[in-house]
Amino acid sequence: MSKYHLDYLEQLEAESIHIFREVAAQFERPALLFSGGKDSITMVHLAKKAFAPGKIPFPLVHIDTGHNFPEALEFRDWLAKEVNATLVVRKVEDTIQQKNLTEPRGKFPSRNWLQTYTLLDTIEEFKFDACIGGARRDEEKARAKERIFSVRDEFGQWNPKLQRPELWNIYNGRIHKGENVRVFPISNWTELDIWNYIRKENIDLPSIYFAHERQVIEHEGQLVAISEFVQPDASDVVLTKQVRYRTVGDMTCTAAVESTAANLDEVINEIIATRISERGETRIDDKVTEAAMEDRKKNGYF
């Protein structure tokens, strides 16, 4: 093979960096939506490479549901310092109080739906015109048609019929006042690509991605950690298990998988061996309906 050849990870990286630079050049106030998970951590790594030796020319924005893993929050603060990026945190808790929203109830009170409000308020507050998100097209059928530059109206709404054709590697980010664009630089990566890239680039991750001991209960075949936000019922059996997480979401709605994988190689081997996709395995609230994602996207969820 010629030395002038990029393997698939290098090609994906080059494409993502190109997208990051387009965002920085085309928009006045972009922001990177940082969820705390491996996908956003990978995006920060790519952004750092895109603008080196300068600093990342946009803030990392975290919409904090208040239900996060403490390990993830600690990591977030460390990472922002490490790459010398501005970190903006806005709390769903505050939105709930200000807007007098109804706090979700039940045993697994997911604030996922409420994030939308806080996000839209944050966009408004900072007048962000482009929000960079870590969604991948392989995650979900409804995502498969998402553009890399996806235009939203003032209400954050997405309209499948109004998506612009995206040709070659030319990204049209022109928008009207009040509109904004969601940009997905890692659209073409799969879960496994992300893991392989993390290994190749030696990217640091929060500890909960690796096997550790945790007290859990079983809920419809999934393991949920006991925490401040999830308390066992009388009927629950509390077990102590070796687990790890495949995605980092809220403690109330992210399930753990039993695992002994303590390092990246072992995690990747397990992922290759499993036959269950990321969302199915770890998001409790996604099981609602097949069309849930699409509805949510229409409402401005990233």
Partner 1 sequence: MDLLRFITAGSVDDGKSTLIGRLLYDSKNILIDQLEALEKSTKNRTDGSVDLALLTDGLRAEREQGITIDVAYRYFTTPKRKFIIADAPGHVQYTRNMITGASNASLIIVLVDARQGVVEQTRRHSIIASLLKIPHVVVAINKMDLVEYSQDVFNNIVIDYAEVAKQLGLKNVTYIPISALNGDNIVDRSEIIDWYDGKPLLEFLEEVDTAHDIDLDNARFQVQFVIRPQTEELHDYRGYAGKIISGIYKRGDKVKVLPAGLETTISKLEVGGQEVEEVFAPQAAVIQLADDIDISRGDAIVKTEDTPVVSNELEVLLCWLDDKPLQAGNKYYLQHNSRLVRAVVKSIEYKLDVNTLQQQPVEGGVKLNEVVKATIRTASPLVYDPYDQFVVNGSAILVDETSNSTVAAVLLQ
Interacting residues toward partner 1 by CB under 8 A? 1-2, 4-8, 10-15, 17-18, 21-22, 24-25, 48-55, 137-138, 141-142, 144-145, 151, 160-170, 172, 174-176, 187-188, 190, 192-193, 274-277, 280-281, 290-291, 294
In whole angstroms, the minimum distance from the beta carbon of 193 to partner 1 comes to 7
- Find where tokens 């994602």 sit: 293
DSSP per residue, 154-209:
TT----GGGPPP--TT-------TT-EEEE-TTTT--HHHHHHHHHHHT----GGG
Cis preceding-peptide flag for 53 (omega within 30 of 0): yes
Cα-Cα-Cα-Cα torsion 248, 92, 178, 24, nearest 10 degrees, comes to -40
Kindly tell me which of 30 and 37 has the beta carbon lying closer to partner 1: 30
Nearer to partner 1, 48 or 62 (CB): 48
Closest separation between CB of residue 174 and partner 1, Å? 4
> Min. distance of Cβ 85 from partner 1 in angstroms?
14
- Closer Cβ to partner 1, 26 or 122, answer by number: 26
> To 10 degrees, what angle do helices 70-82 and 38-51 make?
0
Identity of the residue, 163 or 207, whose beta carbon is nearer to partner 1 in the bound complex: 163
- Our CB check for partner 1 shows the closer of 21 and 107 to be 21
What is the bridge-based pairing of β-strands 222-225 and 212-219? antiparallel
Min dist CB 111 to partner 1, Å, is 24
CB 49, min distance to partner 1, A: 4
Q: For 75-91, give one letter per residue: b (16+ CB within 10 A) or e.
A: bbeebbeeeebeebebe
- At 298, the amino acid letter reads K
Minimum CB distance to partner 1 smaller for 70 or for 178? 178
CB 251 within 8 A of CB 229: yes
